[in-house]
Structure formats: C-alpha cells, structure tokens
Structure 1
Amino acid sequence: MSVITVFNGLFCEAGVVVKRVVDATDCRLVTDQEIVADASKLSGLAEDRIARAFQAKASVFNAFSHEKEQAIAWMRLAVAKRLIDGENIIIPGFASQLPDPEIGHILKVCLISDMKARLGVAEREEGFAEKHAMKLIRKDDEDRAAWVKALRGTDDPWAGTLYDLVLPVAATGVERSADLIVEQLSNAVVKVTDRSRAAVKDFLLAARVETVLAREGHNVLVSASKGTITLTINKHVLLLEKLERELKGIVSDVEGVLAVECQVGKGFHQTDIYRKMDFEVPSKVLLVDDEREFVQTLSERLMMRDMGSAVVYDGESALNLVQEDEPEVMILDLKMPGIDGIEVLRRVKREHPDIEVIILTGHGSEDDRKVCMELGAFAYLHKPVNIDVLSETLKAANEKIRAGK
C-alpha cells in the first residue's frame, strides 16, 4: 500500500479526516510527536530543541549553531527509517513535508478551508472567540509557511504543485474528503514500484549523509541517486575548493556512498555567508551590557571568531531571551539600570544552571567578585578586556559545557 502524507491548516478538521482514512485503510499513523521522539533518540538532542524547528521564529543564534537545520536533518532520517520499514503509513502534520517528493508511492494530500469555516470550527469545537482563533490561525499559518519555505523553497504552503490532492474540507465535507483520499490510493500513479522503493533508499542515504555532515558542523543540501551523493552549497564561501574537499572527505566514508559530487546552488552568489559550526567555541553567546557601542563592537569581534552572539542592553531583556532561546554562555555586565547583573546571575543559575556566565565589568569590587563566584559565575573579568583573553575564557566555558553533555 502507498504512503499518505497530509499537510493541513489549523481548524480544518484534519484530525477527523485522517482518523477516517486510518479506519478505512488500516494504515499506521505516524505523528509529528513520534518523528520528533525518533529524531531525539537518533541524535541525542532534546525533543523540545528538535520540535522548535516547526516554529517560524528561528533562534537568534541559528546562523552559527545551525540548530534548525540539524533538527530537520535528524527528522528526515527518522522519516526515512519509517519509510524503509514499510509503506502502509500515514504521516500528517509538519512531518508530512519531510519525505523526498520524488518518492512515487507517496500520496501527498493538503487539507485546507476558507477562513470563515476555520473560525467556525474553532468556535464550535474549542469554544474560542473569533479574535483569539484568528490569532492562533495566523500564528500557525506563519509557522507552516516558514516550514514549507525551508523544505520546499516556496512561499505558498498550500500551493497545488506541492500536492497530489488539495481538498477544501469545509466545501467538500469530512466524509467525502476521507473517501477521496482512500479512492486515490488505487491510482496507478501512487502504487509501489521498484523505482519508488529505490527512491526511498536514496532518501535514506541522503538523510544519513545530512546528519553526518550536521555532526561535523556543516549545512548543505544533500541528494542521492544510486549511491552518488550530490552536495549543493547555497551560501557564499571564499575557499570553495577547500570546502568541497572537506565535504567529500567526510561523505566518502559514509557506508553506501559510491561517489560524491559538489555544486553551487541558486543562493551561492547572494550575500549570505557559509558558516561551518566550530565546536571548539560556543555558538550561542548572549552579551548583556547597557553600553551599546561597546557591546555591539564586542559582538562583531566575537562573530569574526566564529562565535554566534546576540546582544541585549538590560537585565530584564536578558532574562526574557533566556526563557525563549537558551544561550550556552552569557557575558554579563554588573552595573545596569533596572535588574542589575548580580540579580540576573542569581536567577539564571537558579533556573538554567547549565548556562555558563562570564562577568565582564568596569565597576565591580572584590566583594562583588566573591558574590558572583559564589553564585556560580564561570569567570570574573574586568573592562577593558583583551579579546584573546575573553576568547580563551569562552573556549574554556565551552569545554565545560561539552564535557557536561
């Protein structure tokens, strides 16, 4: 039996439609949560970090940490393993976009409804007021649009070219929508063939290569065909030949790879710079200082050393960012308006003890130093600081973090 993938809008009764299809076909349902859990087991990454890839808002550190791309890579591998294990499965939700569209025996379905109908479902099924439901729908549509853009390169998540079947559920009806999906399973176009099974094997090999590259800090597009891997570099790099040699050296050792080819993609000549993740330095450094010119300059100098950094100018903003997007290391000033550095340190180490905090101050006393170290600061430095000294301190903090992991 074919594989069915179902992408949908929020409040489009997709859950009811999918359940009817499952009941009619005896297919196994593979949810987003299961794919995230599989990816977590394969990678060792926390499930919440992987699931964050579904959100439109990427980490402020993502250009250096590649967290979203890593999560996608591991979820692709999780889906590929599911496809290898058998064909009679239904993959709804965000994960439905992960399989290679070249796999012929996948019936790609999109379930969507007009806004009026979606608001009606939200009120009828969940009791949501229109304003609240509209907010939820817009946020979910934004997440899904960003997800499809990242995986398929198109701005329209509902584009008919992405699917074999687009069903307006409100107009078609839940029962008829499910019936149409089941009927299409008999279409010869989505029958399992030797060619479609070979495409699944290619997808699995490409996914394995992608995760191997991710572990080495690389982020390139990967495709496979009969053991030949094609790597597409979509960001500008000055030493292209050197990067190609490094990539080929890594990929050639992967079991099942017979040949490796490199090429540049459409994005290569844009201004975006290719950045390999450097595991010897932290990729998520939060700078907290109310001296704006100083901290912005410091951030630029750290980025020149391949350390991803973000800047905030007060303690409250720092605590808010930590809740949304946990950094690895924080460089923290003591004297700031509002919540001072010592209080920020106290709260961070209490609620997020794995974050290493480096105090960098121009006004601290010996008593302040003692308090900070007792609260768990990794180091206590004075302004002006030598950038090499700060870099070595950051590397030492990173080593502690890696050792802990």
Structure 2
Amino acid sequence: MSVITLFSGIFCGADAVVRDVMDSTGYPLIDDSRVIAIAADLSGMPESKIQRAFSAKASVFNKFTHEKECSIAGLRLALATELAGRPAVVSGFSGLLLPRTISHVLRVCLIAETPFRIAQAQKAQMQDEKEILKQIHARDADSAAWIENLWGIKDPWDSEFYDMVIPMSQVDAAKAGALIEENLLKDALRRTEVSIQAEKDFLLAATVEMALCRSGHDVSVSAEKGAVVLSINKQVLMLARLEEELQSIAEKIPGVASVTTRVGKDFHQAHIYRKHSFEIPSKVLLVDDEREFVQTLSERLELRDMGSAVAYDGESALSIVNEEEPEVMIIDLKMPGIDGMEVLRQVKRTRPEIEVIVLTGHGSENDRQQCMALGAFAYIQKPVDIEELSDTLKRAHAKIRQTIS
C-alpha cells in the first residue's frame, strides 16, 4: 500500500479532498499538527518553534541557533517514524520532506487561480477581500520558501515536482479524490524492495541528522543501506577536526554501518560553519540608539560565538521580543521614544524569563536601584569591558538554563 502526499494552496478545498481520499482508501491521516507534535517529543523543542520552520521569515538569531534546521530535522524524523512502513495520507507542508527515492509515494498538488480562491474564502464567511489576498500571498510565500529550502525549487506549484497537479477551479472534491484514487492503482506506486529500503534509509538519515542537531551541528545527511554520507555546506577552518567529530557522533547510531564526510556544493560560498554551543548565549538582543557602538558590540560578541541582533530604539526592541524570543537583552537607558527603563518594565511584565542587562553611560545610582527593583539581571556603566560583559552574559544564560532544567 502506498503513501499519498497532498500539498495545497490556501483556499483550494484541500480539507474536502483529504476527507474524500481517506474515506475511499481507509488510509490514516498524518497532518502537519501531528508531525509537529511528534517532532516536539523527539527533539525536545517547543511546538511553537517547530511550527516556525514552515514560515518564510527566518529568525534573526538563526545563524547562531540553527533552530530552523533543527526543527526541520525533527520534522523529518517525526514523519519517518510515523510512516514506518504503513500507508497514509500526508497532508500539508510535511509531505514535501519525503525524498523522491521513495517511489511508492503519490505526490499531489492542489492549486487554483486567485479569483477562485477568493470565492472559496468568501464562502467560508470571509468577506474582506484585502484580508483574503493578504492570507493568500502570505501562505504562498511560505510555500515557496519551504520548497526552495528543501529542494531548491522556486515555484511551489511546479508540475515537475509532483505526480499530479489538480486545478481545483475545474473539479470538485469528489472528482479530485477519484483522480487521486485512480492514479494510486498504478504499478509504479506499489511498494518494492527498493522503495521499502529507501524509506528505511530516510528514517536512518533523519535519526542521524537529529543526533547531530542535538550536538549543535548543521549538516546534510543521506543514507543508503547503512552507509551514511554527511555533507558540510559551509566553510570551516579546521575541516578535519569537524569531520572527526561528526563521524564520532554518527557512527554511534544503531543501523549505521559506515560514515563518510564530504564538502557540499555550497561549501565555497561566503558562509562560515558555526557549531551551536548550548553553554553560550546565542539569542542576545542589543538595544541602543548609538548605532556605531551597538554594531561594534555585536561584532565583538560574534567573535566570542555569541549570537546577537540589534535594535536602535525601544519600539523596535519590543517588536523583536514579541517575534523572536531573545534569551538575554542588553539595553541602554537613554533612548528617544520608549526609553530603556520602560523597555525593561514591559519586558519583565510580559516576558519575565528574559534576562535584561542594563548597559548605560548616563545612569545614576537612583536609576541603578530602580532597574534592579524592576528585575534587571545586572547594571553596568559604559565604557564597558568586553570580558566583564561576556562573563555577565554567560551568567545570565546559565541562570536561564538552570530555570528551564
């Protein structure tokens, strides 16, 4: 019995088609929410963070945390574990994770022209056409970013990628379901020894990838009958040492017979390989209106493998806090608009788990006392000693990790 993946544009009637196919085949449903929940259990990451892997917008901290890559690794492992040799209807973004080597997968895309999608949304009681278009454009952007990230394809509806592309403006759910069921009977979609092995290879590669992510690494993984290949896609100064470390992790995974490392096709591009250290803060938000100072500070922290993002005013800082979930903030007190004291007050009221370090050149003893009373982790006067600040950041990060554990 085969696997069906259904990828769809928003407002294209996918839910009705999924129900029709499930009723006709008796296949169980594996949707994105199911895969995310399993991935959270397997990886230890919150579901909310894994969900963001489907978004076109990347976190400003991602080059240090590898959260998106680890989320995708968790999703791969979850899907591979959930399939485990059984038939299923895989609906949503997750189905695109399955490699082409698994030949018993029927890959289906449901899409329609924008006017049809607007009409479908209006039938579902959405009347604001601008809001409908906004949702269509946002979801299409997510879809495009997702498939490009996975397979390097820019068009999420590219017919070359799927076995079937069904224009939903021309057929109803029942007809679409019938077309899918008709194609499902083709001999090319039967399970074979080769396709079953490919599914096992997918599970092994996903298991190795997740183990490497847990150790802070970001490499591509493939497997064939126990032979694992690790592709390093970013430049690294001590390649041999990295290869040795990667091999030592991968070879401990049950089912791995051999491990080979190689440089990937993007190795010579201007990207530096960064192993994520869980002992060093990698989500630091710097808030200061002195642009030259804060950029220099960000660069000096980066040299110490501490990931940081920069905001030049209080309003921008609060926006980043809501979207990006920094672990530690370093804020100046004197800023135009929302000043540092108000940022501290709002952050500790709404996100008390974030540790805030006040770094200022204009504060008084009264300011220091007020900041500490509001919950600041530390109060430091400019000019700052970078070693002192680094040590303070590490202590704040250690406090956060202790609280989580």
TM range (shorter): over 0.9
Q: Residues 116-127 of structure 1: matches in 2 within 5 Å?
A: 116-127=115-126
Task: Find the aligned partners of 1:232 and 1:177 in 2 and give their Cα distance.
Answer: 40
SS in 2 for 1:205: helix
How much has 1:124 moved relative to structure 2?
Answer: 2.2
SS at match of 2:90: strand
- Asked whether 1:204 is paired with 2:214, we answer no
Shift of 1:95: 0.9
Cα offset for 1:135?
A: 1.3
**1:213-250, Cα deviation, whole Å (9 max, x unpaired):** 11111111001111111011111222222211111111
Residue 127 of structure 1 and its aligned partner are, at CA, apart by 2.7
SS in 2 for 1:5: strand
Q: 2:206 & 2:125 partners in 1: Cα distance?
A: 38
Which residue does 2:219 correspond to in 1? 220
Residue 147 of structure 2 is matched in structure 1 by 148
What is the rounded CA distance, in whole Å, between the counterparts of 1:76 and 1:181 in structure 2?
A: 24
Could you say what secondary structure the match of 2:285 adopts?
strand
Alignment of structure 1 residues 280-319 onto 2, 5 Å: 280-319=279-318
Query: Could you say what the CA RMSD is over the residues aligned between the two structures, in angstroms?
Result: 1.2
In the alignment, is residue 341 of structure 1 matched against residue 343 of structure 2?
Answer: no
Report how far residue 309 of structure 1 moved. 0.8
Q: TM-score, normalised by structure 1?
A: 0.97
Structure 1 unmatched runs, 5+: none
**Matches of 2:107 and 2:348 in 1, distance apart?**
47
Task: For 1:68-217, list aligned pairs within 5 A.
Answer: 68-84=68-84, 86-217=85-216
Q: Which amino acid aligns with 2:12?
A: C
> 1:195 and 1:205 mapped to 2: Cα distance?
15
Runs of 4+, deviation exceeding 3 Å: none
Instruction: Measure the CA separation in 2 of the matches of 1:110 and 1:126.
Output: 25
TM-score, normalization: structure 2? 0.97
1:318-353 per-position Cα deviation (integer Å, ceiling 9, x unaligned): 111101111011001111111121111111111111
How many Å separate the matches in 2 of 1:126 and 1:69? 37
Percent of residue pairs identical: 55
Please show how residues 324-403 of structure 1 align to structure 2 within 5 Å: 324-403=323-402
Task: Report if the CA contact (8 A) 2:36-2:50 is conserved.
Answer: yes
The correspondence of residues 231-310 of structure 1 with structure 2, limited to 5 A, is 231-310=230-309
- What does the per-residue CA deviation read over 1:93-148, in whole Å, with 9 as the maximum and x for residues that have no partner? 11111222211111111111112211221222233333221111111000011011
Q: Tell me by how many angstroms 1:390 deviates.
A: 0.8
Amino acid at match of 1:98: L
The number of aligned residues is 404
Which SS does the other structure have where 1:30 is aligned?
strand
Paired residue secondary structure (1:126): coil
CA contact (8 A) 2:126 2:132 kept: no
How far did 1:296 drift?
A: 0.8
Rounded to whole Å, the distance in 2 between the matches of 1:257 and 1:121 is: 49
Whole-Å separation in 2 of the counterparts to 1:225 and 1:170? 41
| 1:264-295 alpha-carbon deviations (Å, 9 max, x no partner) | 11111111221111222111110001111100
Partner of 2:403: 404
2: CA distance, partners of 1:102 / 1:110: 19
Q: Secondary structure at the match of 1:137?
A: helix
- Structure 2 unaligned residues grouped into runs of 5+: none
